[in-house]
Amino acid sequence: MRFDPGDGNTPTRSTVKVGTLASPPENNPVREGFRFDGWTREGQPYDFQTPVLQDTTLKAKWSKATDWTLSPDHGPASGTRLTISPPSRILIVDSDGQAWIWNTGKTANVKPERIRQDQGMRIRQAQTLGQGFILLDANGQAYYLADGKTSLATTGLPENMKASRITTNKNQAVTAGTDGHIWTWKPGESPTRADNGSQPYTQAAITGGRITAISRQGSLYQWSINTQSQPDKPAKVNTTQAAILESASLDGQSLTLNKTDGSWQTEMPASQPGPVTITLTGRQDGKPFTRSFNYTVDQTLLKDIRQSSTYTVTFKTDGGSPKPGDQQVTYPYGRVQRPSPDATRSGYQFDGWFINEVAYDFSKPVTDNLTLTAKWTSKPPNTS
């Protein structure tokens, strides 16, 4: 078995006996800015309950950690509940003002990691910013936590400027100071004054290159930054629109959405087996968006005509012993019980139960009468 992490790093290898099951690596691969979604073979999720019959290469599947996600990405012809989750990051600030980072992309049971802070520093606000986070302490000083780091860096804002509130949009932060001035900042760049000084503001945000701010009188204003990096005259506005998921469809067929705890669910309608496309539309950061996901409708069994069927499974030992008795397996959910102990044959090694040249998968439901035949490999004679 060859496990390709799909990120340019060297694949790992393991040896698996023909006809037996492979196991995934003990630790999932990690890729900065991405979430590991499992191992695939030729673009399809790999079933580790399938016996290995030949050299096999599995490739890691990744999703951007900051993009919308669909889970699961395959399932039966109908009845699957799909969960659609918006972009999300996790940073924790506890009741003592200590910040913790939680990297959920590594393992399911990873614990939060403590951020190094100066003695007495209390963090009172934290926001995602690009691949990192911007944090505001109780003294009004802003700090940046880069991706993969546990130490804070300064933002370069004026020392006498005390921030009252910070908002972010993708890779840009907007800070409102206690003096009412607005500043914008991007990681790796110098802060820029973003208001014209006509009035003080208590909070601001940036969307699509436009500043939206609340004045101390509670009014809402918007303005742009011109080509000379100077703020235009503020214009009073009435309201803003929140980001939402508006619709979902499967190959053009509308899906009904239900929102629960920040994610949306929908029930899959009956569909023909094979690949389909699920398309999402909505508004994010004040702008319309469209996302498309690949989804695979699994093969289904014909329940209507074989609801109460019983099938017979017969075993042929091909010279080995003991011979297992026949099994009666009910449809649609019955499975063959693997005989125990394995059959033995003098001078031969037992390789498993086969149908023709294919090892039988005991995890699959039985859909017809079967005859399973023992497969043997001749052992070399003992010359010692």
The answer to whether the beta carbons of residues 112 and 102 sit under 8 Å apart is yes
165 and 256 housed in the same domain = no
**Which region among 54-58, 62-66, 129-133, 271-275 has the lowest average model confidence (pLDDT)?**
62-66
Mean pLDDT, rounded, for 98-118 = 70
214 and 100 housed in the same domain = yes
276 and 212 housed in the same domain = no
Number of domains in the chain: 4
The rounded distance, in Å, linking the Cα atoms of 381 and 384 is 9
The rounded distance, in Å, linking the Cα atoms of 352 and 358 is 10
Domain extent for 252: 243-299
Q: Measuring CA to CA, which residue among 366, 342, 367, 362 is closest to residue 47?
A: 362
Residue 215 CB burial class (10 angstroms; 0-12, 13-18, ≥19)? middle
Strand 57-64 relative to strand 2-4, pairing? parallel
When pLDDT is cut at 50, 70 and 90, the band that residue 205 belongs to is confident
- Sequence-distant (6+) residues with CB within 8 A of 98 are 114, 115, 117, 123
- Residue 31 belongs to a domain: yes
Q: What is the pLDDT of residue 46?
A: 81
When pLDDT is cut at 50, 70 and 90, the band that residue 314 belongs to is very high
Q: Where are the beta strands (DSSP E) in 98-148?
A: 99-101, 113-114, 123-129, 132-137, 142-145
In the chain, % of residues over pLDDT 70: 88
Q: What is the pLDDT of residue 104?
A: 56
Count CB-CB contacts under 10 A for residue 258: 10
- Residue 177 belongs to a domain: yes
When pLDDT is cut at 50, 70 and 90, the band that residue 106 belongs to is very low
Note if the bond before 380 is cis, omega within 30 degrees: no
Q: What is the pLDDT of residue 122?
A: 92
184 and 139 housed in the same domain = yes
Q: What is the pLDDT of residue 111?
A: 66
- Residue 74 belongs to a domain: no
In the chain, % of residues over pLDDT 90: 27
| b/e map 274-285, b = 16+ CB within 10 Å | eebebebebeee
Q: What is the pLDDT of residue 109?
A: 47
Greatest distance between any 2 Cα atoms in the chain: 98
The rounded distance, in Å, linking the Cα atoms of 155 and 308 is 70
The answer to whether the beta carbons of residues 372 and 315 sit under 8 Å apart is yes
258 and 329 housed in the same domain = no
CATH number (domain holding residue 192)? 2.130.10.30
251 and 290 housed in the same domain = yes
When pLDDT is cut at 50, 70 and 90, the band that residue 369 belongs to is very high
106 and 201 housed in the same domain = yes
- Residue 73 belongs to a domain: no
**Does the pLDDT value for residue 304 go beyond 50?**
no
CATH number (domain holding residue 28)? 2.60.40.4270
- Sequence-distant (6+) residues with CB within 8 A of 185 are 134, 142, 155, 156, 157, 172, 173, 175, 191, 192
- Residue 279 belongs to a domain: yes
105 and 229 housed in the same domain = yes
- Residue 80 belongs to a domain: no
132 and 184 housed in the same domain = yes
- Residue 383 belongs to a domain: no
- Residue 217 belongs to a domain: yes
Q: What is the pLDDT of residue 108?
A: 44
Written as one string, the DSSP assignment of 320-347 is -BSPPPPEEEETTT--PPPPSSPPB-TT
pTM above 0.95, yes or no: no
15 and 42 housed in the same domain = yes
230 and 253 housed in the same domain = no
Give me the residues paired with residue 135 across strands. Answer: 126, 143
When pLDDT is cut at 50, 70 and 90, the band that residue 309 belongs to is confident
Q: What is the pLDDT of residue 78?
A: 65
| b/e map 343-361, b = 16+ CB within 10 Å | bebeebebbbbbeeeebbe
173 and 233 housed in the same domain = yes
Using the 3D structure, point to which of 31, 51, 67 is the last residue of a domain. 67
When pLDDT is cut at 50, 70 and 90, the band that residue 317 belongs to is very high
Q: What is the mean pLDDT of the chain?
A: 83
Q: Measuring CA to CA, which residue among 171, 169, 170, 142 is closest to residue 155?
A: 142
